[in-house]
Amino acid sequence: MEMKQNLDYYRMMAGVNEEDFKDLETSPHMAEFLLGKRYYSDDSFGLAAKHFEAAVEEYFTADRECRVLCEGAHDYDGYNYMEYSADLFQAMTDHYMQVLNCKQHCSVELASTAGRNKPFEDFLPSHFNYLQFSYYN
């Protein structure tokens, strides 16, 4: 919270441009999406469509990477490894549930950005909504 106030203070100073700030935590798909929204708000629909298209491509790349990272060895977090005594089917079910939970969380993780308390609502559908209206205009 304090960092956001500091950034707002420096943004209001004379001679400081928005281009002087670079968010090093933002992901490529989020950067393209936010840039597309900025162009969309400025009625530059051709540029907005270009950035929304890039955002969709980057989103699916990031989603694929996130889902691949969910695969792997079972995480025994919450279990004591030495005391975990499940049979084969229970262990497989636990592992598969963990993988599915992780994959389901990818969409929430990809819709989150620094400086926001909660992720964007309907993040992927909003890409296509903006794209549709950018093509139309």
Unique residue bearing structure tokens 């209206």 = 133
Average model confidence (pLDDT) for the chain? 84
| Contact call for residues 51 and 123 (beta carbons, < 8 A) | no
- pTM exceeds 0.85 for this model: no
Higher-confidence residue of 67 and 82: namely 67
Estimate the crossing angle of helix 88-110 against helix 45-70, to 10 degrees.
160
Residues 72-104: tens digit of each pLDDT: 776 666 665 556 667 778 778 888 888 999 999
Mean pLDDT along residues 22-34: 84
| Contact call for residues 33 and 51 (beta carbons, < 8 A) | yes
pLDDT bracket for residue 61 (50, 70, 90): very high
pLDDT of 52 reads: 93
Q: Cα–chain-centroid distance for residue 20?
A: 23
Reading the block at residue 60, the tokens are: 């699916």
Q: How far apart are the first and last CA of the chain?
A: 38
CA atoms within 13 A on the CB side of 57: 7
